[in-house]
């Protein structure tokens, strides 16, 4: 569909992780949630997926859109340790059952192992496209091209070679396209795709473009209402209905993201950068920066200066 194609071409895609994991003990995830998109490839053994826990064929894929519940039985057993919506509380707890291994140095010795990749795919840096489609988790048949992309992503992840990040970004973008093509080819998802027409609403496009191009300016609801030709009282509600995000929270996150980039690439003072991205109070900027990134702006600047 033309709209779906335009939206996929306009996505901002962020890679999070990719590794291979082996099942140490059988475990069941029943209604667990992830905040990012997850793609799993079964390399060998037994995974049972979906509400009905159907067996995934070796080489097959299971895609879980962000925010959708995860239903997976890992390994083969008559009795599984069950984890519900909260999932594993710590990495150590998870590794009692599911342990990563390095493809370059280790060979999985158990009967079940799989590859997992996590990523975000957002439109206007605000809308998780697979979440807005309201797709359930679904399986995909073995696919040679998708298999190649995932294998190479993992290989780059475990190596520290020149151009690693660029290649991973390119592979991730191609993975998203492969998933989108699979969705587009499935009649059962036609109604989900038709929901996307509203994302090209010119009012939403105008708001997002104006924010991204004018972070240093007044971005109050009053100013943005004039951009979108809607009332001041309605503009926040309109943005929330379109993106499921609070308008002013979205603006602050865009400002913090730009500041993070500028701190790594420019020599302006932290106070100057805070003003460049629209924060009038540098102390408030510093507090919000620390909350979002877990690191204060001075520490990021020191790390940049030591590179």
What is the DSSP code string of 201-252?
Answer: -HHHHHHHHHHHH-TTS---HHHHHHHHTS-HHHHHHHHHHHHSS-HHHHHH
At 1 the pLDDT is 62
Residues paired with residue 113 on neighbouring β-strands, in sequence order:
22, 44
Question: Rounded to an integer, what distance in angstroms lies between the CA atom of residue 189 and that of residue 63?
Answer: 14
Q: Locate 209 and state its tokens.
A: 């473009």
Give the CATH superfamily of 2-192.
Regulatory protein AraC (2.60.120.280)
Q: What are the residue ranges of helices labelled H in 126-163?
A: 129-132, 144-157
Does domain 201-306 bear CATH number 1.10.20.140? no
Is the CB of residue 26 less than 8 Å from the CB of residue 77?
Answer: yes
> Tens digit of pLDDT per residue, the chain (307 long)?
678 888 898 899 999 999 999 999 999 999 888 878 999 999 999 999 999 999 999 999 999 998 888 999 999 999 999 998 778 888 899 999 999 988 777 767 778 999 999 999 988 877 888 888 888 999 999 999 999 999 999 999 998 899 999 999 999 999 999 999 999 999 999 988 987 877 778 888 889 889 988 999 999 999 999 999 999 999 999 999 888 789 999 999 989 988 988 887 788 899 999 999 999 999 999 999 989 888 788 877 755 443 3
At 302 the pLDDT is 58
| Cα distances (angstroms) measured from residue 2 to each of 65, 183, 188 | 22, 14, 18
Is the CB of residue 215 less than 8 Å from the CB of residue 255?
Answer: yes
pTM of the model: 0.74
DSSP reduced 3-state for 52: coil
The residues near 175 (Cβ < 8 Å, ≥ 6 apart) are: 39, 117, 119, 146, 149, 150, 153
Q: Output DSSP code: residue 85.
A: T
Question: Rounded to an integer, what distance in angstroms lies between the CA atom of residue 106 and that of residue 102?
Answer: 5
Question: Rounded to an integer, what distance in angstroms lies between the CA atom of residue 54 and that of residue 51?
Answer: 8
Domain spans in the chain, listed from the N-terminal domain onward: 2-192, 201-306
Best CA proximity match to 125, nearest among 261, 32, 230, 2: 261
Quote the crossing angle between the two packed helices 247-265 and 282-293, to the nearest 10°.
90
For the chain, what is the largest distance between any 2 Cα atoms, rounded to a whole number of angstroms?
63
Question: Rounded to an integer, what distance in angstroms lies between the CA atom of residue 229 and that of residue 201?
Answer: 12
Is the CB of residue 119 less than 8 Å from the CB of residue 37?
Answer: yes
Is the CB of residue 35 less than 8 Å from the CB of residue 66?
Answer: yes
């Amino acid at each position: 569909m033309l709209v779906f194609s335009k939206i996929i071409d306009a996505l901002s895609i962020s890679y999070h992780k990719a590794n291979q994991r082996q099942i140490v003990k059988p475990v069941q995830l029943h209604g667990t949630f992830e905040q990012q998109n997850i793609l799993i490839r079964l390399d060998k053994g037994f995974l049972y997926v979906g509400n009905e826990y159907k067996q995934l064929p070796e080489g097959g894929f299971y895609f879980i859109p962000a925010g959708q519940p995860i239903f997976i039985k890992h390994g083969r057993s008559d009795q599984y340790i069950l984890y519900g919506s909260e999932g594993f509380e710590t990495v150590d707890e998870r590794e009692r059952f599911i342990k990563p291994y390095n493809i370059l140095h280790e060979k999985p010795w158990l009967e079940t192992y799989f590859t997992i990749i996590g990523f975000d795919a957002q439109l206007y840096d605000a809308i998780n496209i697979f979440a807005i489609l309201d797709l359930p988790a679904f399986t995909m048949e073995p696919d040679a091209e998708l298999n190649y992309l995932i294998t190479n992503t993992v290989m780059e992840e475990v190596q520290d070679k020149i151009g690693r990040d660029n290649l991973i970004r390119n592979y991730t973008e191609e993975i998203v396209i492969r998933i989108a093509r699979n969705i587009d080819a499935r009649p059962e998802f036609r109604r989900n795709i038709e929901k996307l027409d509203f994302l090209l609403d010119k009012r939403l496009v105008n708001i997002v473009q104006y924010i991204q191009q004018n972070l240093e300016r007044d971005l109050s609801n009053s100013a943005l209402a004039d951009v979108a030709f809607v009332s001041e009282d309605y503009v926040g509600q309109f943005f929330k209905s379109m993106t499921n995000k609070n308008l002013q929270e979205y603006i602050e996150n865009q400002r913090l993201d730009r500041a993070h980039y500028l701190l790594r690439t420019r020599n302006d003072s932290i106070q100057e950068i805070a003003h460049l991205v629209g924060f009038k109070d540098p102390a408030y900027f510093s507090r919000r920066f620390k909350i979002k990134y877990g690191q204060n702006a001075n520490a990021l600047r020191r790390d940049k200066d030591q590179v």
